[in-house]
Amino acid sequence: MVQGLIIGFSIAAPVGPIGILCIQRTLLRGRKNGLVSGLGAATADAVYGSIAGFGLTFISDAILSVQFWIRLLGGIFLCYLGIRAVFSKPKEQVKGASEGNLVKDFSSTFLLAITNPIAIVYFAAIFSALAGAAITNYTTSGLFVTGVFLGSLLWWVILSGSTGFFIHKFDVRKLRYANIISGITIIAFGVYFLLSLTNIL
């Protein structure tokens, strides 16, 4: 389980597009929205962890065989989220969590994480390391997957919690700037992922 915790935390910790989304949503709507956004990413990490931990090589092979289309979808989705962030107006948004926006926050980061090229490459290395190993102890595999999920979730708790301390310092004008900066950064990640497609053609 410790191995899973380390893997889950290490893949979540680098502040990429999902981290920026988590920060933005925490500032706009509160810690709960930021944490739920991170929960979506942690769930996606657990899915990849399950494939690695239970030795489901036929699934990993299928994922890697269509990684071009997965990266394409992820890049386009990033650009979409970035554009939305740039043109959103904080004064029109309602602070605080609601069932509707919590579901959207979770599903959007889950989709983004499940199509994240970095995660695909990272777990592909795990697939290779575990390839050929017979998975006979399902308890150990289950603990590994649980560790991946909890390690990833731990990072999102830390990020959303620490960001939450600065909420009161952001008025509408500062939130607008935060939207623009985070949106442009997310778009940049999306463009980068799209350009990286030329490496696997």
pLDDT digits (tens, 9 = 90+) for 78-97: 898 889 888 877 654 555 55
Higher-scoring residue by pLDDT: 129, 43: 43
pTM of the model: 0.78
% of the chain surpassing 90 pLDDT: 10
Domain boundaries, the chain: 2-199
How high is the pLDDT of residue 182? 87
Statement: residue 132 has pLDDT above 50: no
What is the average pLDDT across 168-196? 84
Higher-scoring residue by pLDDT: 43, 135: 43
HEC sequence for the chain: CHHHHHHHHHHHCCCCHHHHHHHHHHHHHCHHHHHHHHHHHHHHHHHHHHHHHCCCHHHHHHHHHCHHHHHHHHHHHHHHHHHHHHHCCHHHCCCCCCHHHHHHHHHHHHHHHHCCHHHHHHHHHHHHHHCCCCCCCHHHHHHHHHHHHHHHHHHHHHHHHHHHCCHHHCCHHHHHHHHHHHHHHHHHHHHHHHHHHHHCC
How high is the pLDDT of residue 13? 75
How high is the pLDDT of residue 184? 92
How high is the pLDDT of residue 84? 86
Higher-scoring residue by pLDDT: 135, 175: 175
How high is the pLDDT of residue 71? 81
pLDDT tens per residue, range 108-125: 899 888 887 566 666 666
Statement: residue 134 has pLDDT above 50: no
